[in-house]
Structure 1
Amino acid sequence: MSDTTFSTQTFTKYGFKLGNLSLAEKVIYWTIILTPLWWILGIQTILYPTVAAFLLVVRFKFDKIIKGSLPICNWAWLGMILVALWTNIIGLESIGFQILKTAATLFTLFKGYFLIFACLTLPFWHRIRVKVITRAVSWMSASYLVILTIQFLILFAIGPQKSFLPPLARLIPGDKLSLMIKFAVIQPFFGIPLPRTDLYTADPPILGVCALLCFFICLEESNRSLRKVSLIGCLAALLVSQSRLAWVCFPLVCSIIYCFRSGLARQAYLWVISLLTLFAAVLSLSLKDLIALPLTTFNNARADSSKDREYVVNATIDAWKKSPFVGWGFMEKTVSWGNGAFEMPLGTFSSYAQVLYIHGIFGFIIFILALVSTLCSFWQPAMFGNIICQRAFACLVALYLLLHATNLSWMAIYFWFFFIWLGAILSEVQQLNVTEWEELSNRF
C-alpha cells in the first residue's frame, strides 16, 4: 500500500474527509485556517472583506437577486448598507469629502455591514456546507492553544513586550490600532493580577466574543479529537479575554439551547420573571435591587473600565441628540476625561449608541430590523428541533447582548466566519422540504 493511499484512508477513518470542496469552500476553508498568518502579516481587515467580495462578484447575476430566494434578513442587511452609505455621504459632504476621512469611513462600511451581507449571501450563491465551515473554525480554535502557549512563555520567561505594527498594515486606511500585534500582559481582575491577551483581535472583549461563538460552532465538529482540542482552545481564549459579558453569555446560550430541547422556549421568559420575583420576595428586595447587586459586583471586576465605557456611551447619546434623524455620518468627535488624560472617539463603545450617533434614527431602525430578522430566521427550524439552528439562535441572542459593549462594524471582521456559518445553515435549511421538517419534528 502506498503512503498516499494510507494517508487518505487514515484521513477518512478519523473523520477528517470533507469530500470534494467547491472553489468557494476551498477559499473560505484556507482563509479561516490561516488566520494566524493573516494576523502576523496585519492584513486581516482588508483580506476577509476582499475574499467575500470576490466570491460574491464571481457568481453575481441579476437573476440571482430578482428570482433568488434570499431570506428577509439578507435584504435587511443590504438595506443597512444603503442607509449607512447615505448617512456617510451626508456627513462627509459637510466636511468637503476629505480624502483620508472619506477613505476610512467607506472602508469601515466595506469591512462592516457589507461583509456581514456578503457572508450571509455567499452560501446561497455558492456551495458552502456547514461542516466545511465547522472544520475550518475547529482548526482555527485549536490554534488558540498554540498562540496562547507562545504568548505566555514570552510573558513569564522574558517579560511584557511592546506591541508593533506589521509593515503591510501601514497600507490599510483607517485606524491602525486594530492592526497592532499585541502580546499578553498582566492586568488586575477582581483585584487579582491575571494574564490577558487579545490574540487575533483588536481588543480582549472581542476575543471573548469570538471564543464564545467558536465554541458553539465547534460543537458540531465530527472528529472527536479535534473537537476536544478546539473546545479547550475556545474556553482558554474566553478565560484569558477577561470579558465579563462574554462569561455571562456563555451559560445564557446553554440555557437557551436547553429551553429549546425541553420544550420550554415559549415559556422561558415567564419562568425567568417568576424566579426573579420569587427570589426578590424571599430576600425582601425589590426587583431593581436584586438586579443591582450582581451588576455592582460585575462592574467592580474592572471598575475603571466600566466607568469609562459608561461615560463614553452617555457622551455619544448626548451628541446624537444634536442630529437625531441622520446622525453625524462618521466618527469624528472625541470625548476626554481625567483632565484630558484619556480621550476616545464618540461611538467607540456600544453598537446601539454608535448606530444612533453615526446613522441616526433611520439607520437605527434598519439596524434593529436586520438584527431581529436574522434572529427570527432561525426560530422556526429551532422550534422543530434543528440542533444547529438552536445553537445559531442562542449565539445570536448572546451576540446582540454583547453588542451593547462593542461595535459590530468594528469587530465583525474578526468573526466573519460566523456569518458565513449562519448563511450556510439558512441555505441548507431552505433546501429541506415539508416532509423532512415533519420528520425532524417527530424525531425531536
Structure 2
Amino acid sequence: MAPSIFNQLTAEEQLVYSALIFSYPIYVVGGLYVLGSVLGWALLGVFLLRVYLLGKAKFPVPILALVSPIVWFWILAMLVMLAALLIAHIDRQLGTGATIKSTIGWAKGWALLALFPLLGCITTIRPQVVTRGVCVAAASAIPFALLGIAAYVIGLSGELYMSPFKVIGGPEEAFRVRLFGINPETGMARWQFTGPWAPAAGLLSCFQLVICLQESNRRWRLLGIAGALTMCLLCQSRAGWAIFIAIVPIMILLSTLKHPLSWIAAAIILPALVLLGEPIYQWVLESYTQVKESRPGSTRVRGTLARLALQRWENEAPIWGHGTVERGPKIVEYMPIGTHHSWYGLLFVKGIVGLFALALPLALTSIYMLIAAQKSKTARTALGICVIMLSYSFFENLEILAYIYWPALLWLGISLRPQINHTGTTLAPGRV
C-alpha cells in the first residue's frame, strides 16, 4: 500500500476501509446487515463531532454549502418516502408499533440512498481508499468460494447458522450465514457470498467491478476484478450475468460522447442496425426467452408478484400505497407482495408518490453523471453505478440491499464533491 495514502487515514476513512476489508469476517459472524445499516449514521456522527470540535478554524466554508444540489434532492426524495410511509400507515390504521418498525426500516434502507451520497459529498473520504477497500472485499470472494466448493464436493451442508443479530429486525435471509445455498430448480450449489440471496451477489459483483477498475495498483485491480467475476459466475443470477458483461462497454460508450470518433461510429452503426433491425430483434427476443425459460419457476413467481402488486396498488392504494409489504398467496410461494422489483414494490408499498421519489433523483443523477463522465473518471464510475442501479431496480428492491452496496452510494457522493478534480484526485483533502 502507498504510505502517503493508507498510513494517514482520517477516522471516517478508517471506518470505511475497515468495514470493507473485513466484510467476510463480519459476514461470518452474521453482522453485515448491522454494519451496513449503522455505518452511515456512525460516519455522520463522527463527522459532526469533528465539525463541533474543530469549528470554523478547520471548516471555514459552511458545511451545507458543500452539499451538491443533487444530494439535496436525494435527501428531499427520501424524506418524501418517509412521509408516504407514515401517511399510508395512518390511512390504513396499521398501528403505532408497525409505524415505528417501518420507520426504523426506512432508516436502515431508503435513508441510506441519501445518507451515503451526503457523506461522500461533505467528508474528505478519498476515492483511493474506497477503491482499495472494495478490491480487498471483492478478492476475498475467491477463498470464500473455494471453501464453499470444497464443502460442496465432500457433501457438507452450506448452511452454517442463523445469526443472533436477527433480533434487531430486518430480512431473515440477511442473518442466515451460508457457505453456499442450493438452487431448488436444479439441486446444484448456488453462492450468495455476503448477500442475503444469490441475485444480490450478482448486483454486488457489478458494483465491485466498476469500482475496482479505478484501482491504481495493478495487482489489487486484477484481484478485485477476479473476485467480482467469481461472484458473478457462482451466484448464477441471470440479471447479474447480463449486466456484468454489458456494464463496461456501456460506460465506455456513454463517457466518450464528446469524441468525434464516437459520432462517426454511431453514424456507421445506426444505419446498419436499421437494416439488420429485424433479425437482431428476433435474436434478442429469443435469447431473452431462453434466459427466462432456464428458471421457469422463478420467472413465474416474479411475474405473478408483479401482477398482484399492480392490481392491488391500482385498486386499493394508488397515491400513498399500503405502507408495508404483505405475505403473498401460495401461487407465489408465499413471497411478500412488493418485493423482487423496486418499481412494483414502490407502487404497492408507497404508491405513485414513492415511485416518483426514487425515479426523479435517480434520473437526475444519471443525467448529471452522463455529462460529467465526459471529463471525469470518477464520474464515469458513478455513471456505471447509476446504470447498474437502474438496471437492477427491475429485479430487486434497491433499498433492501443498500446495506451491501453502500460503497457505490458513497462513490456517488464523492463524484458530486466540489473538491474532486477531473482526474479523481482530491484538491483539498483536509487531513486531520
TM value normalised by structure 2:
0.86
Structure-2 residue corresponding to 1:441: none
Using the alignment, how far apart are the partners of 1:83 and 1:208 within structure 2? Answer: 29
Using the alignment, how far apart are the partners of 2:313 and 2:355 within structure 1? Answer: 12
Structure-1 residue corresponding to 2:167: 171
What are the within-5 Å matches in structure 2 for residues 104-183 of structure 1?
104-167=101-164, 169-183=165-179
Structure-2 residue corresponding to 1:21: 9
- Of 202, 211, 214, the residue aligned with 1:217 is 211
Task: Give 5+ residue unaligned stretches, structure 1.
Answer: 1-10, 437-444
Structure-1 residue corresponding to 2:428: none
Using the alignment, how far apart are the partners of 1:268 and 1:121 within structure 2? Answer: 38
Query: 1:351 and 2:342 equivalent?
Result: yes
**Retained in 2: the 8 A contact 1:328–1:358?**
yes
- Of 226, 238, 243, the residue aligned with 1:244 is 238
**Retained in 2: the 8 A contact 1:87–1:328?**
no
- Of 380, 397, 409, the residue aligned with 1:407 is 397
Deviations 1:194-235 (Å, cap 9, x if unpaired)?
A: 531101110111100101110111112222222222211110
**Retained in 2: the 8 A contact 1:198–1:207?**
yes
For residue 267 of structure 1, report the CA deviation from its aligned partner.
8.6
What are the within-5 Å matches in structure 2 for residues 7-406 of structure 1?
11-12=1-2, 17-60=5-48, 67-93=64-90, 94-99=92-97, 101-167=98-164, 169-187=165-183, 194-259=188-253, 260-261=255-256, 263=259, 274-281=271-278, 283=279, 287=281, 289-321=282-314, 322-337=316-331, 342-384=333-375, 386-406=376-396
RMSD: 2.9
**Retained in 1: the 8 A contact 2:11–2:46?**
no
TM value normalised by structure 1:
0.84
For residue 170 of structure 1, report the CA deviation from its aligned partner.
2.9
SS in 2 for 1:228: helix
Query: 1:420 and 2:410 equivalent?
Result: yes
Using the alignment, how far apart are the partners of 2:189 and 2:287 within structure 1? Answer: 24
Structure-1 residue corresponding to 2:430: none
Partner amino acid, structure 2, of 1:334: G
For residue 158 of structure 1, report the CA deviation from its aligned partner.
3.1
Task: Give 5+ residue unaligned stretches, structure 2.
Answer: 53-58, 426-432
Partner amino acid, structure 1, of 2:299: S
For residue 126 of structure 1, report the CA deviation from its aligned partner.
1.8
For residue 378 of structure 1, report the CA deviation from its aligned partner.
1.5
**Retained in 1: the 8 A contact 2:66–2:122?**
no
Is 197-206 or 272-281 further displaced after alignment?
272-281
Structure-1 residue corresponding to 2:429: none
SS in 2 for 1:181: strand
SS in 2 for 1:49: helix
Counterparts in 2 of 1:265 and 1:416: CA distance versus 1, 3 Å: farther
The alignment covers a number of residue pairs equal to 410
Using the alignment, how far apart are the partners of 1:205 and 1:268 within structure 2? Answer: 35
- The percentage of counterpart residues that share the same residue type is 22
For residue 300 of structure 1, report the CA deviation from its aligned partner.
1.4
Is 326-335 or 227-236 further displaced after alignment?
326-335
